[in-house]
């Protein structure tokens, strides 16, 4: 289905999410915090429950039928994930607990084996803490140096500064595909090409991208790509690391234990092939199967249809919120995902969140694990409305009406 003709049947989609029938504080729920964690459709809930009820057994170990069925479903989710990212090989998909663990895996395996004093890691000012702290820890361990490419006051990466910071010393470039706090969409392919031209390896944090747009890791050309299941309408506790096969095969294991080995003696251990050498211990089997169901769900809806609906919501919400007296939108990039962060000159974000909760409206307030962004814009925190497939124009209207109520209360 093309972007020109795609249309999401939002009312049908909403019926797939049982939480939307609840009434927090006696009000119909308006859920505007999908950037933190998306709600789960029945298809995902049912897939997890069905596996637990009828097919649960440990994987990769048993020869009995139940174990074989569980293993097939688990590995089937790996194949679905590879197709979802347009990866060249399912072996390039490693399951982790979340995107944060996936980044730490790369830092502690690729990073510790490749970096030396004086080498440089380049990130951007708009990163989530998960794409800052692991690199700081790696620099402390190896003597490498962390460089930061700045953003402008619209929340857009300064391409001139990014290019200037690249050099022969740059060994790794890590950047977010979509900013969780601003919604800014970075030109992942172009940034990757620039980094590769200087011989750097590239990691892209796609946690905020995969729920909103089609991602093709081969087209981007990145060496690593990470995302997390719970933002893609899947369960929490499941994440994904995509890595080019050559990198994964060269990297040492992240953790030791069961299922990541080939042979073990007291004298020497040999490791399982990729990707299993990075998946020590019993994983969240049902969670991975639930992630596979989530991928099936969004694929059936159509990523073009999702992108179109969310773009229309973003345009409508931006127009309506910008008209509220005393409201300032933080992050005004031309290319954005459906995220609107804002501050009011008459109320603290935490007060906004508390008051809106009484109206059944759930939105995030705080620094969004992106304190350097708050520092850039000289604000302690923002209120963030993040829209998804189950949100409507009426949700936007209720949000604006509730903010007007906050203004009346504080002025």
Query: Which are the catalytic amino acids?
Result: 369
DSSP state letters, 74-95: HHHHHHHHHHHTT-S-GGGEEE
**∠83-37-371 over CA atoms, to 5°?**
110
Counting beta carbons within 10 angstroms of the beta carbon of residue 124, is it exposed (0 to 12), middle (13 to 18) or buried (19 or more)?
buried
Counting beta carbons within 10 angstroms of the beta carbon of residue 148, is it exposed (0 to 12), middle (13 to 18) or buried (19 or more)?
middle
Alpha-helix runs per DSSP H in 323-392? 349-357, 371-376
What are the structure tokens assigned to 173, written together?
């470039």
Return the closest-CA partner of residue 170 out of 150, 197, 136.
197
Residue 70: enclosing H or E segment and its boundaries? helix 65-84
For 349-354, the CB contacts below 8 A with 24+ separation are 349/380, 349/381, 349/382, 349/383, 350/381, 351/406, 351/410, 352/383, 352/403, 352/406, 353/383
What are the structure tokens assigned to 310, written together?
């969310």
């Amino acid at each position: 289905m093309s972007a020109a003709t795609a249309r999401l049947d939002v009312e049908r989609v909403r019926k797939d999410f049982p939480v939307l029938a609840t009434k927090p504080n006696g009000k119909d729920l308006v859920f505007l915090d999908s950037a933190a964690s998306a709600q789960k459709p029945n298809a995902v809930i049912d897939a997890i429950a069905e596996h637990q009820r009828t097919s649960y057994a440990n994987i990769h170990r048993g020869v009995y039928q139940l174990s074989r069925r569980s293993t097939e479903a688990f590995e089937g989710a790996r194949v679905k994930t590879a197709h979802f990212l347009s990866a060249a090989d399912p072996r390039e998909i490693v399951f982790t607990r979340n995107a944060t663990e996936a980044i730490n895996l790369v830092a502690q395996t690729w990073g510790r084996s490749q970096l030396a004093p004086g080498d440089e890691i380049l990130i951007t000012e708009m990163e989530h803490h998960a794409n800052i702290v692991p690199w700081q820890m790696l620099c402390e361990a190896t003597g490498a140096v962390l460089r930061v490419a700045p953003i402008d006051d619209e929340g857009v990466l300064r391409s001139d500064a990014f290019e200037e910071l690249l050099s022969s010393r740059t060994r790794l470039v890590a950047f977010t595909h979509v900013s969780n706090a601003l919604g800014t969409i970075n030109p992942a392919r172009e940034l990757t090409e620039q980094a590769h031209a200087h011989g750097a390896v590239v990691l892209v944090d796609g946690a905020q991208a995969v729920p909103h747009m089609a991602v093709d890791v081969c087209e981007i050309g990145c060496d690593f790509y990470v995302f997390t299941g719970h933002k893609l309408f899947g369960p929490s506790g499941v994440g994904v690391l995509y890595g080019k096969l050559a990198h994964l095969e060269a990297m040492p294991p992240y953790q030791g234990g069961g299922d990541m080995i080939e042979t073990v003696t007291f004298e020497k251990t040999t490791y399982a092939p990729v990707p299993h050498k990075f998946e020590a211990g019993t994983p969240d089997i049902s969670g991975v199967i639930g992630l596979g169901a989530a991928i099936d769900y969004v694929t059936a809806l159509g990523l073009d249809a999702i992108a179109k609906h969310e773009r229309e919501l973003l345009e409508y919400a931006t127009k309506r919120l910008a008209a509220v007296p005393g409201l300032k939108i933080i992050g005004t990039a031309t290319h954005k995902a459906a995220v609107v962060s804002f501050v009011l000159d008459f109320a603290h974000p935490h007060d906004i969140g508390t008051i809106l909760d009484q109206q059944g409206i759930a939105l995030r307030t705080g620094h969004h694990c992106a304190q350097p962004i708050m520092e850039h814009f000289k604000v302690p925190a923002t209120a963030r409305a993040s829209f998804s497939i189950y949100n409507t124009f009426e949700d936007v209207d209720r949000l604006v009406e509730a903010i007007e109520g906050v203004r009346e209360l504080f002025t």
